[in-house]
Amino acid sequence: MMDITLTEAVGYLASFALIVSFLMKNINTLRIVNSIGCSLFVIYGFMLATSWPIIITNLFILGVNIFYLSKSRNK
């Protein structure tokens, strides 16, 4: 039987969310689901004894998503 650690589970869930986000036809839905995946990857990065490349990249993408989501709401 395969034992999955909490850290691995968060990483798999983050990956799944990102993959699912790219299947979305609506750009706002894509950005929301992608933001969830990025947030999970940030958590995952901290769970990996602070993996800065994962954390910084996903914080940047999360910021871009939030920027464009807020821009589309103000229209």
Looking at the 3D structure of the chain, how many domains does it have? 1
Considering the domain boundaries, does residue 14 fall inside one? yes
pTM confidence score = 0.90
Considering the domain boundaries, does residue 2 fall inside one? no
Contact 38, 65 (CB under 8 A): yes
- Condensed to tens digits (0 to 9), the pLDDT of residues 19-74 reads 999 999 999 999 999 999 999 999 999 999 889 999 999 999 999 999 999 999 88
Q: What is the DSSP string of the chain?
A: -----HHHHHHHHHHHHHHHHTT-SSHHHHHHHHHHHHHHHHHHHHHTT--HHHHHHHHHHHHHHHHHHHHHHT-
Considering the domain boundaries, does residue 46 fall inside one? yes
